[in-house]
Structure 1
Amino acid sequence: MPDTLYDWGLAVAAAMMTVSFLVIVWRIITGPNSLDRLVGMDGFVAAFQCALATYICWSLDTTVVNAMLVIALLGFISTVAVTRFRRRDNQ
């Protein structure tokens, strides 16, 4: 694959992730209840992992893989913890 096509593909992926970050942040800020904000935070963690994967593809540096693993585990654990102890918003 030519380098220019590869770079363009990564640029398109980065642009789409930028738009998704903006939509996710909007959902976190304007979410009508805490569950919408929790789903937004899950989306943010997933989008951040995708951004790190795109960075790995762009720089060909695999030292970030450990950070991706930690972020994935912390995102999962935090989601389970919050949903376990969540109460309704009107209580």
Structure 2
Amino acid sequence: MTVVWVLSGVMLIAAAAVTMIRLLLGPSTLDRLVAVDTLVAVTMCGIGTWAAFSLDTTVTYSLAALALISFVGSVSVARFRVPDIAGRDDR
């Protein structure tokens, strides 16, 4: 059973690393927004994995808080974002 926990931890760390690369190298703000949402989702998966591993359900309240904050943040950024200058062809 320990192999399952180690493999899930390694996969979550790999997913977070790939997401951070996309966050740092994203050509537009929407790419970075998707990367931040993905990073929050990976974090939520990590918290859920920790809750299953430790059999401690007190950390699950943070899952609801992260989901709400992530949703509100994504909607507000998508609503009020300024278009990127690099993608314009009207120079």
**Structure-1-length-normalised TM-score:** 0.90
Among residues 13, 17, 20, which one is paired with 2:8 in the alignment?
A: 13
Q: Residues 29-77 of structure 1, C-alpha deviation per residue, up to 9 Å, x if partnerless?
A: 1111111100000000100000000100111000001111101100001
Distance 1:75 1:54 in 2: 19
Identity %: 35
Q: Which residue is equivalent to 2:76?
A: 81
**2:46 alignment partner in structure 1:** 51
Q: Distance in 2 between matches of 1:67 and 1:14?
A: 19
Give aligned pairs, total.
86
Structure 1: stretches of 5+ with no match in the other structure: 1-5
Q: 1: distance between equivalents of 2:47 and 2:61?
A: 11
Q: What 5-or-longer segments of structure 2 have no aligned partner?
A: none
Matches of 1:82 and 1:23 in 2, distance apart?
Answer: 22
Cα distance in 1, alignment partners of residues 3 and 54 from structure 2: 14
1:62 aligns with 2:33: no
Corresponding letter in the other structure for 1:54: T
TM-score (normalised: structure 2) = 0.90
Q: Which amino acid aligns with 1:69?
A: A
